[in-house]
Amino acid sequence: MSVLTGQLAPAFTAHAVLDGSHIVDDFSLDQYIGKKYVVLFFYPKDFTFVCPTELHAFQERLADFASRDTVVVACSTDSAECHHGWLRLAKAEGGIQGVTYPLIADTNKTISSNFDVLDGEYDYDEEGELVGTSELICNRGLFLIDKEGVVQHQVVNNKPLGRSVDEALRMVDALRHFEAEGEVCPANWNSGSKAMTASFEGVADYLAAH
């Protein structure tokens, strides 16, 4: 698996469903450069089981992300029309009605491939086009991208393992604290906890206090 942390997030333009209602064909993360942090998460497939629990969990905490100057964006290899259909299905029926953040349609699988979360058998032809020889769907990748477009955190779960929204928020808090204060964040750090300077003295003081 590629480690993208510390690198610019791969650029793309794709179809997406916005505000849970309308489809656009030119969605890009470039619109957030210099303005917002981005939590981009990939999920395996529409109309499945663990996936709606994650999408609703992020929606329920959307205001918490917004208060941290952060947008949430989701992506799978399903079509925009498939996303739209799932958004029309009620939560009680396994749907994601009420989800308002962007849902990207990575139908040609290049976004998932470039972020190295695409699962399945595939290769590239002489024209550089991705060619699959099995079903291609995403693992549960999550990427925290800073305002300069650089990946600062990534985690990838296998399909049965749902993610923690609290942990995604904790990573946003840690990044924002480091940027604002210049202090590094030790194990299990949470917003409001004591951080430390990146020095032997700093770690000695921290460990002595804990």
What torsion do the CA atoms of 190, 63, 52, 152 make, to the nearest 10 degrees? Answer: -50
H helix intervals, the chain: 50-60, 62-66, 80-87, 110-114, 165-181, 200-209
Helix (H), strand (E) at residue 169: helix 165-181
Residue 20 DSSP code: T
Q: Going by DSSP bridges, is the β-strand pair 118-119/122-124 parallel, antiparallel, or unpaired? A: unpaired
**How many C-alpha atoms does 15 have within 13 Å on its Cβ side?**
16
Which residues are catalytically annotated?
Answer: 51
What torsion do the CA atoms of 88, 89, 95, 100 make, to the nearest 10 degrees? Answer: 20
Residue type for position 152: Q
Q: Would you state the structure tokens that stand for residue 51, as one six-digit string?
A: 């996936």
Per-residue buried b or exposed e for 8-29, using 16+ beta carbons within 10 Å of the residue's own CB: ebbebebbbbeebeebeeebeb
